């Protein structure tokens, strides 16, 4: 440990710490707009400058190392004036539409301006004008609100390994855009939305479907149903100021019912169904010398990624639809049939932690005869916006239960929301399907936690099975390169596009950090620990669905409704 002084107070830090890291750990708030935890500093925004005794100029706290005996001033008049000047220059070229911006009240530029007391415009001039990019089904890009902090570029390139956007142009003409400055829809963007989560302003937002859902709820000729993903109940309360990891499942159901939805379903049910199909597919591939390793297909961002960058591995991808699309298909077939409702009268809405689900829902593979299985997808943020618009306070409602037949779920389906949860749920049921016996301990510690890559070797009744879990597409790229190079000890791989899995999805509350992800995961695993039903194959309503409608896993009707195939994609599609 080394000792130094900040604002006349003696504090300690670890050798090699940056000034920013050391000050934050000692409770000193230093604003920044470009810094990203766990990535090398860029020192681009200069908002974090501090004064160091013995140095003539101000130094960026995010990239300058702390040293023994250093004396730092974090809020001297010179420092405050420099921060104000940078903020005022940013605001000089920023739209004055805070009242209409979806990030109003949760905008880092707005917050810094407030904290620094910037209350009047000092710099005036001709503003740069840029066109709104609404070409993507998932992400809306407003370049006029971009402050060139570079976070989205770094997330897309360094974390996700997609590189759909970058700095283009030179000097004062520099902007962030796609190759040839075209729309996101013809770029390599995989719609994961991680750029939205790290953007400090409203330059990147999800394409909203809130108004369409409100209109559907008000239409007496429509029967509107909603499903909510496993991760939603442990995150949506954060949108209302509740601490991360709080499970609001029952109150969420009650709130959605109050909003006017005719039926409220739990996507954890179709997660159980996914396990039945995916586990059976894995066993079939193992027994019949099929293509291995088999790779999960739950994450639509991952699917578009492999279609674009690793089309040679498409035969390895499971043919199972995602839980969202499985339930969507069942709602407009089995449910419509049993309820005597014409499928075209049903408006199927899903609440997902993922912006890529918006892209997935509009894929032609999931619109048989031109009728989409899922009509509208709301992110966690949009769902909270919908409830506010409807004047609903979740905290004041009594918890309620989701509707049958798609309301019962196992905790195996619930842990789909955590990175590694799909694999753990699949192993529990695959073990039973192979041996006829339950796992002696359903908890698989090696597959849990926030590590971006986890591996495990299993012995299932003499059958050696290697499994791997990766979250974040940069980590997936590393593993896919190993597989492409001939690695053969892995037989089953779970890939989630977003770091941490769905609990860290691109549609989750803004302000995402590793601690929030940990708390959400912890809650999901606590639900699993305390649940009486911990395996998908014992879900009574799933069993009933097979008896009355689907037949058997991998059967003809199951293939027709619950499976699909993907093809090579160039960036122009």
Four-way CATH pick for 128-207: 3.30.70.20, 1.10.3720.10, 3.20.20.140, 3.40.47.10: 3.30.70.20
The whole-angstrom separation of Cα 312 and Cα 322 is 21
Q: Which residues are catalytic?
A: 278, 281, 298, 318, 357, 360, 365, 502
- Check whether 188 has a pLDDT greater than 80: yes
Mean pLDDT across 71-78: 96
Paired with 49 in beta bridges are 60
Mean pLDDT across 44-62: 95
Nearest to 385 by CA among 199, 133, 206: 206
HSE, side-chain direction, 13 A CA sphere, residue 526: 10
Nearest to 251 by CA among 73, 43, 366, 397: 397
Sequence spans of domains, the chain: 2-90, 128-207, 219-562
pLDDT category, 405, cuts 50, 70, 90? confident
> Same topology for domains 2-90 and 128-207, yes or no?
no
- Check whether 572 has a pLDDT greater than 70: no
pLDDT on residue 573: 47
> In terms of residues, how long is the chain?
573
What residue has token string 């000047």?
85
Mean pLDDT across 189-203: 97
Query: Rounded to 5 degrees, what are φ and ψ at 525?
Result: -75, -30
219-562 has CATH 2.60.120.10 classification: no
Top pLDDT among 154 and 126 is at: 154
Query: Cβ contacts of residue 162 below 8 Å, gap of 6+?
Result: 156, 188, 189, 190, 192, 305, 473
Mean pLDDT across 71-88: 96
24-42 per-position pLDDT tens digit: 999 999 999 999 988 999 9
> How many CB atoms neighbour CB 526 within 10 A?
14
Query: Cβ contacts of residue 42 below 8 Å, gap of 6+?
Result: 34, 35, 62, 63, 150, 154
CATH fold for the domain made of 2-90? Ubiquitin-like (UB roll) (3.10.20)
- Check whether 376 has a pLDDT greater than 80: yes
Mean pLDDT across 106-116: 96
Mean pLDDT across 546-557: 96
- Check whether 262 has a pLDDT greater than 70: yes
The whole-angstrom separation of Cα 334 and Cα 298 is 22
pLDDT category, 125, cuts 50, 70, 90? confident
Helix (H) or strand (E) holding 467: strand 463-471
Round the average pLDDT of the chain to a whole number and report it.
95
């Amino acid at each position: 440990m080394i000792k130094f002084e900040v604002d006349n107070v003696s504090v300690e830090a670890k050798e090699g710490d940056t000034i920013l890291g050391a000050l934050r750990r000692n409770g000193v708030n230093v604003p920044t707009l470009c810094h990203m935890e766990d990535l090398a500093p860029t020192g681009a925004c200069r908002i974090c400058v501090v004064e160091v005794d013995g140095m003539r100029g101000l130094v960026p706290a995010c990239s300058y190392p702390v040293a023994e005996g250093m004396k730092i001033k974090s809020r001297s008049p010179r420092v405050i004036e420099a921060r104000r000047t940078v903020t005022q220059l940013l605001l000089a070229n920023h739209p004055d539409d805070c009242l209409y911006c979806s990030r109003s009240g949760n905008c880092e530029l707005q917050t810094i301006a407030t904290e620094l007391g910037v209350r009047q415009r000092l710099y005036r001039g001709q503003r740069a004008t840029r066109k709104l990019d609404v070409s993507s089904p998932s992400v809306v890009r407003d370049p006029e609100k971009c402050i060139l902090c570079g976070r989205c570029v770094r997330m897309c390139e360094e974390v996700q390994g997609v590189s759909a956007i970058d700095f283009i142009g030179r000097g004062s003409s520099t902007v962030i855009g796609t190759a040839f400055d075209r729309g996101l829809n013809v770029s390599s963007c995989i719609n994961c939305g991680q750029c939205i989560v790290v953007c400090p302003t409203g330059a990147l937002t999800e394409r909203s479907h809130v108004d369409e859902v409100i209109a559907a709820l008000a239409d007496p000729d429509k029967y509107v149903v909603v499903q909510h993903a496993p991760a939603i109940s442990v995150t949506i309360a954060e949108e209302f100021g509740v601490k991360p990891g709080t499970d609001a499942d029952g109150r969420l159901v009650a709130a959605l019912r109050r909003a006017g939805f005719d039926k409220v379903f739990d996507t954890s049910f179709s997660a159980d169904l996914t396990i039945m199909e995916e586990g059976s597919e894995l066993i079939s591939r193992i027994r019949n010398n099929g293509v291995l390793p088999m790779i999960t297909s739950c994450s639509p961002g991952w699917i578009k990624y492999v279609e674009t960058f690793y089309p040679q591995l498409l035969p390895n991808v499971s043919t199972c639809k995602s839980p969202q699309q499985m339930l969507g298909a069942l709602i407009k077939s089995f449910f419509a049939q049993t309820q005597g409702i014409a499928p075209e009268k049903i408006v199927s809405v899903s609440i997902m932690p993922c912006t890529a689900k918006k892209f997935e829902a509009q894929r032609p593979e999931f619109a048989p005869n031109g009728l989409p299985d899922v009509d509208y997808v709301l992110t966690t943020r949009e769902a909270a916006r919908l409830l506010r618009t409807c004047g609903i306070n979740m905290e004041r409602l009594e918890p309620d239960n989701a509707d049958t037949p798609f309301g019962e779920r196992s905790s195996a389906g619930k842990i789909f929301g955590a990175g590694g949860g799909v694999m753990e749920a699949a192993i529990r049921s695959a073990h039973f399907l192979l041996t006829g016996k339950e796992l002696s301990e359903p908890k698989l510690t090696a597959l849990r936690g926030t590590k971006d890559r986890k591996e495990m070797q299993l012995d299932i009744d003499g059958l050696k099975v290697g499994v791997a879990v990766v979250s974040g597409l940069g980590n997936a790229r590393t593993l896919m390169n190993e597989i492409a190079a001939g690695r053969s000890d892995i037989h089953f791989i779970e890939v989630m596009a977003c770091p941490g899995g769905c609990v860290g999805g691109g549609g989750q509350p803004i302000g995402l950090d590793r601690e929030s992800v940990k708390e959400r995961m912890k809650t999901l695993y606590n639900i699993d620990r305390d649940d009486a039903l911990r395996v998908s194959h014992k879900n009574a309503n799933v069993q009933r669905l097979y008896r009355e409608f689907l037949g058997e896993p991998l059967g003809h009707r199951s293939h027709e409704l619950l499976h699909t195939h993907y093809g090579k994609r160039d960036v122009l599609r």
